[in-house]
Structure 1
Amino acid sequence: MNTLDLALIGNCSIGALVDAQARIVWGCFPRFDGDPIFCSLLKPNEEAGFFSIELVDHERVEQHYLENTAILVTRLHDHHGGVVEINDFAPRFGQYGRMFRPTMLVRRIQRITGNPRIIVRLRPACDDGNGRPTITWGSHHVRYATPSQALRLTTDVSITAILQETPFFLEDTATLLLGPDETVHESTAEVGRRFFEETALYWREWVRFLGIPFEWQEAVIRAAITIKLNAFDDTGAVIAAMTTSIPEAAGSARNWDYRYCWLRDGYFVVNALNRLSATRTMERYLSYIVNIAADAAGGPLQPVYGIDGRAKLEERIVPGLAGYRGMGPVRVGNEAYRQVQHDVYGSTILAATHIFFDNRLTRHGDKTLFQRLEALGEQAVRCYDQPDAGLWELRGSARVHTFSAVMCWVACDRLARIAERLGLAGRMVYWRSHAEHIHKTVIERAWSESRGAFVSTFDGDAMDASLLLLTDVGFLDAADPRFAATVTAVERDLKRGDFIFRYVEKDDFGTPENAFIICTFWYINALSTLGRRDEARALFEKLLACRNRHGLLAEHIDTNSGEQWGNFVQTYSMVGLINSAIRLSIRWDQAF
């Protein structure tokens, strides 16, 4: 049975998920939102859509990441004392003055002891699981051609053994390079060795310059590498997750395609990496959102865009994939692009604010960029008190959501601060006036006297977890008693065991069954803000224990069993881990 006990490998061009038996079960080519040629995660008990390396007479397996890298190490043991080690990765390193990140997966298989025999089964699918590629071969390669692309496996393994999936003795090291349909002019073994060494060096150097907290270092490093892998270097977009249609709960039909860039999620990701001093991803993302804003030409922003910046993400059901554990439907595309979500203006301007204040960045904000952002601010002013789908993307209803209004306030507040930074006194007064008006309106209409707390919608009485962010975005002071009262109300309404639900009201798909993981991290941060650090630290440790064996998190969690659900790996969840660790850790100068 498929589970989310998976490891992520990638290079910021492609990504793949590897299961506990060293079987690649998910991977899209030629980029994150491409055709899933490895799709057995959503096509159980089928004969295609995976890439396995199997040890004959297999007994047990050990698996871990190579320290401070995105390279996965799997050791397979047989009943006779034979051991093989598999190194799985996608090459990423500097070369010729630029980043080398080909659409390639590398699998290096080394004999450690004994006389192990292995079987290589490479069975790509195509057309969203509906078809199989045309296969041709040469002396040292196998070519897999689909209507949209062609991939080539270059190897020093017997081509007959690959094609016929026959077992063979592993004498020393075998190398498998699956990538573009191009001739490899060097020795396959030498290319694999060099790519391995250069990729390991790249990741270790990247990690070495992270500004990590003293406590929970390993967890934070793994989270940082993971969200870095979800950033698409070519455009700067950040995807919400590598997968589509992993359901939020068993049989829920809450199955969505997350292989796109939500402006809200992107902001949280780059802000977390920036706090760790990994500024390059943020700079690339800023270029992405500036281009998105320019294309909007002063009109409304969508909540989500393609990783290439395209606006239309038409949603369709894919009949060739049965779904995770057979729980369909499987969707490609996401109708959320049609939704109205007013918080996007605050998220976009928050991300761009860094470029005006962070002197580490190579590019600095100027009056021209500020004027582009002002168009988004005008949208925020127009829509802050208008109904929308909210950050939880309700498909069947629209209300005036408190978080959306607060983020419209954020847009105006940050524009006022940027204007002051640029010496534009008139514009600073203009945006400060709008911010004050929106702030006053939210206070009047989102505060419930009967609940003694802020509520999720204007003039409503229900709670949602986004209210835990009121101090994080600067809307309320941490010492404001209204924030403590709101946290208490969230605890009372949304806490189930150790976890916080995003909301508990019945929606288009029924009552939510599992907890949205990021919300519990928000709650941990709120506890810390209120001085309840011991509670926060204890809950943080419990949440860390819910990660899979590789330190990774999906979107949702079953509050009873602890099983993870939802798309994987979820950037939002990994960002929550980083932010809470930074907030809760003792300082380095207090550690010794």
Structure 2
Amino acid sequence: MIVPPDLNLAVIGNSHIAALVDRSATIVWACWPRLDGDPVFCALTDGDEPDSGFFAIEFAGPATFAQDYVRNTAIVRTVATAADGSASMAITDFAPRLTQNGRIHRPSMIVRRVEPLSGTCRIRVRVRPRAGYGGAMPPPILGSNHLRWGAEGTTVRLTTDAPVAYIAGENAFVLTRPLTFILHTNETLPDAPAEVGKRFLAGTRGWWLDWVRSLNLPYEWQKEVIRAAITLQLCAVEETGGIVAALTTSIPESNGSERNWDYRFCWLRDAFFTVHALNRVGATRTMEHFIDYVTNVIALEGGGPIRPVYAVVPEQPLDEWVAGSLAGYRGHRPVRIGNAAGEQVQHDVYGSVILAAWQMFWDERLPDKGDAALFALLERLGERARAVALSPDAGIWEYRGRAHIHTHSAAMCWVACDRLARIAVLLGLEARAIYWRAAADSLRDIILARAWNPEIGAFAGSLDGAEIDASVLLLHELGIVEPADPRFVATVEHLGERLSYRGHLRRYLAPDDFGVPEVAFTICTFWYVDALAAIGRVEEARALFGKLLRLRNHVGLYSEDIDPVTGALWGNFPQTYSMAGLIVVAMRLSRGWERAS
């Protein structure tokens, strides 16, 4: 029996496919053939005791487990020890990512290698994929050294050097030598499974080590930042440039809340946070690929409004529906597929895209810097931002039942105009610089005047409003207000008093479409830490940051939300918002490298 579902999960992936491995080395979530596809392993979202939708390699009897990443890679190693201590084995899991034939090879493939370490390891392998979002459990079709499952247009093949009869019958057998299990598309492997597994493991380890070696790291918290950066990279689909907000769907934001959403899509806002964080550590290729993605989004819309979220392939639909065959994470239904947020109006998207492209114009390391053609493309977004800046939208929190002129959305529209003005100066486009600077200055004056509420002594969440909202903590980071501005200092202090609960920040206090939020939104706490440091309360910020780091799961990952009372992780996993927040705050708070000398 697999362990009860929780978010003590490790992620493997290659920027095309991804899987979640629980602490017993069972794959409980993996979409096929791409990380936004049909979850062939879906046990994570199918109740407390799922009987299928997983890939387990386990002792025939009870066992204990120790799990961690191979240093500076996306390779997971789990050591399982029989409960009586008589035997132990190691299971290594990864998705191949390596240089092959002069290009990056990132196939739809998961490799699992199991090796005996001590004693007599009597093991059982259970492979039970589902199809049609849990609606079908296809029977295996046996070959000489493989099994194949096919249903609902999905075909998965497992090639192995283990006895196929044992695998098909889920019979226990003694592990006398290392074995390799390769889950892949329905094609014949070019070599024996063991040879493919060894070669891909060495190549994948080498690729990640080289990638990490190139990162610009803070002096402090290097391991934490490396793990966050690798995780963000695993959420970026290199083929199209889209970046998913998380790898899962419908992990509820809190117990019984029904705030269950599908995050396997590219929110332009969330993607900016990922790009920004990776840029901070020097991993700029994700930004370059994302600009290609945005170019396709703009072309798709043909000059019309930009939606807040798109599929990994932008033209694919996001129709929201419920997968009735899945019982939900820990039994919390519904399991939603698709996301109706694609139909919302969220004005911050224009500033998000321009901010994501901002570094393209300034970074001399890039082989192809931003130019007049990219600037002209971004100007189209700037014109939309200017036109809608002071009109209502659903806001950053995607309210489904109301619209306001949200302060964050308006500020992001100002960002669009402000950054275009700066880019125009850089490119020597004097007339355009004057045009965009005038637009930005006009918006800034209006936004700050109408967002400031003297009665509450803080910037409100909407213009002329009185509600408080954690997103205004970003105003200093966006540059629309200086951190030393007394109004911003007062806002940080007010939000810290009102939104904080046991050191964690909630998004807001007012009831939304599902009532009053019960848990803290992890990125909001990171924003608060960053704001504390910006206004000079650095030691307080460092202490709170340390507390947040201790709430990561056993391999250093965050989901979307944290229960302030229990410290339990809730929400989709791993959440790019949260991992990006870790990087940005670590870069701000870290002491300098001169400490190493």
| 1:158 has 2:151 as partner | no
5+ residue gaps, structure 1, are none
Name 1:32's counterpart in structure 2: 35
Name 1:56's counterpart in structure 2: 60
CA distance in 1, matches of 2:223, 2:373: 41
CA distance in 2, matches of 1:179, 1:433: 56
Q: Per-residue displacement from partner, 1:509-540 (whole Å, max 9, x unpaired)?
A: 00000000000000000010011111000000
1:38 aligned partner, one-letter code? F
Contact 2:268 2:309 in 1 (8 A): yes
Correspondence list, 1:63-102, <5 A: 63-78=67-82, 79=84, 81-102=86-107
% identical equivalent positions = 51
Name 1:46's counterpart in structure 2: 50
Contact 1:93 1:100 in 2 (8 A): yes
2:483 aligned partner, one-letter code? A
Select 2:148's aligned residue among 140, 143, 147.
Answer: 143
Name 1:504's counterpart in structure 2: 509
Select 1:563's aligned residue among 536, 556, 568.
Answer: 568
Give the CA deviation at 1:134.
Answer: 4.3
Give the CA deviation at 1:477.
Answer: 1.3
Give the CA deviation at 1:102.
Answer: 0.6
Contact 1:117 1:167 in 2 (8 A): yes
2:419 aligned counterpart, secondary structure: helix
Q: Which runs of 4+ in 1 moved over 4 A?
A: none
2:147 aligned counterpart, secondary structure: strand
Select 1:514's aligned residue among 516, 519, 522.
Answer: 519
CA distance in 1, matches of 2:316, 2:158: 34
CA distance in 2, matches of 1:313, 1:185: 37
Name 2:459's counterpart in structure 1: 454
Give the CA deviation at 1:298.
Answer: 2.1
Correspondence list, 1:150-549, <5 A: 150-310=155-315, 312-549=317-554
Contact 1:175 1:189 in 2 (8 A): yes
1:262 aligned partner, one-letter code? W
2:23 aligned partner, one-letter code? A
Contact 2:401 2:513 in 1 (8 A): yes
Give the CA deviation at 1:311.
Answer: 5.9
| 1:23 has 2:26 as partner | yes
Give the CA deviation at 1:299.
Answer: 1.4
Name 1:552's counterpart in structure 2: 557
| 1:9 has 2:12 as partner | yes
CA distance in 1, matches of 2:146, 2:308: 43
CA distance in 1, matches of 2:23, 2:428: 57
Contact 1:56 1:118 in 2 (8 A): yes
CA distance in 1, matches of 2:170, 2:157: 17
CA distance in 2, matches of 1:127, 1:112: 38
2:81 aligned partner, one-letter code? H
Q: Provide the aligned C-alpha RMSD in A.
A: 1.0
Contact 2:131 2:154 in 1 (8 A): no
Q: Per-residue displacement from partner, 1:297-338 (whole Å, max 9, x unpaired)?
A: 221111100001126311001101110111001100000000
Distance change in 2, residues 1:109/1:523 (3 Å): same
Q: Per-residue displacement from partner, 1:431-488 (whole Å, max 9, x unpaired)?
A: 0011011101102211112122211011111110111111101111122111101111
1:333 aligned partner, one-letter code? G
Give the CA deviation at 1:168.
Answer: 0.7
Answer with 333-342 or 179-188: which moved more. Answer: 179-188
CA distance in 2, matches of 1:289, 1:561: 40
CA distance in 1, matches of 2:81, 2:518: 39
Answer with 305-314 or 330-339: which moved more. Answer: 305-314
CA distance in 1, matches of 2:37, 2:215: 31
CA distance in 2, matches of 1:284, 1:413: 24
Give the CA deviation at 1:132.
Answer: 1.3
Contact 2:53 2:130 in 1 (8 A): yes
The TM-score with structure 2 as length reference comes to 0.98
CA distance in 1, matches of 2:520, 2:472: 16
CA distance in 2, matches of 1:185, 1:275: 40
2:71 aligned counterpart, secondary structure: coil
1:97 aligned partner, one-letter code? G
Give the CA deviation at 1:80.
Answer: 5.1
Answer with 448-457 or 428-437: which moved more. Answer: 448-457
Contact 1:241 1:258 in 2 (8 A): yes
